[in-house]
């Protein structure tokens, strides 16, 4: 995992770009969860949000194979985002939640590309889609270090 994070760091050295990532990556993660939450499921077998939970489980597994510490921290973040999304689903309804998630997704990605304009480099995921999973891990590793965990990975 450290190799992934180091490579990602090399593409994200500009402080302005880093601020954009702090402000945009978490909303992107939430918006993907929310969009998946609104995908219909057979009511007699599954509950709303089943596709989102499946995606979070798969992402957790990807992280777990690379770094248990980061995976556990990201699992906590996924759980919080899942709980938030469930509340919003029942308060706003599927259609309104979907529109909110689309708006957040588009705005946050615009922010990401603005950040990369400051960086002068293209986003990492354009070279390897796995970097779409590395971005949240990169932020979590930074957060864990700020919270005093000497080794975040």
50-66 vs 15-37: helix crossing angle, rounded to 10: 140
Identify the burial level of 102 via C-beta atoms within 10 angstroms of its C-beta, where 0-12 means exposed, 13-18 middle and 19 or more buried: middle
For residue 43 the two structure tokens come to 């009511």
pLDDT band at 151 (very low <50, low <70, confident <90, very high): confident
Whether the per-residue pLDDT at 118 is higher than 80: the answer is yes
Whether the per-residue pLDDT at 152 is higher than 80: the answer is no
Helix (H, G, I), strand (E, B) or coil at 83: helix
Q: How far apart (Å, rounded) are the C-alpha atoms in residues 35 and 17?
A: 26
pTM of the full structure: 0.93
The CA-to-CA distance between both ends of the chain, in Å, stands at 7
pLDDT band at 86 (very low <50, low <70, confident <90, very high): very high
CB 92 within 8 A of CB 102: no
Which among 143, 152, 126, 150 is positioned nearest to 11, based on CA atoms?
126
pLDDT digits (tens, 9 = 90+) for 46-67: 899 999 999 999 999 999 999 9
CB 81 within 8 A of CB 89: no
């Amino acid at each position: 995992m450290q190799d992934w994070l180091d490579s990602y760091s090399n593409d994200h050295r500009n402080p302005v770009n880093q601020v954009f990532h702090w402000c945009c990556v978490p909303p992107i993660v939430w918006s993907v969860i929310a969009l998946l939450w609104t995908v219909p499921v057979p009511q007699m077998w599954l509950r709303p949000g089943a596709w989102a939970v499946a995606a979070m489980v798969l992402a957790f597994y990807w992280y777990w194979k690379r770094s248990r510490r980061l995976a556990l921290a990201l699992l906590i973040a996924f759980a919080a985002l899942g709980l938030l999304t469930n509340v919003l689903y029942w308060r706003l309804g599927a259609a309104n939640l979907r529109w909110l998630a689309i708006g957040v997704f588009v705005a946050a990605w615009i922010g990401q590309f603005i950040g990369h304009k400051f960086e002068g480099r293209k986003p990492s995921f354009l070279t390897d889609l796995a970097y779409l999973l590395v971005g949240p891990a990169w932020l979590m590793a930074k957060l864990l270090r700020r919270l005093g965990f000497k080794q975040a990975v």
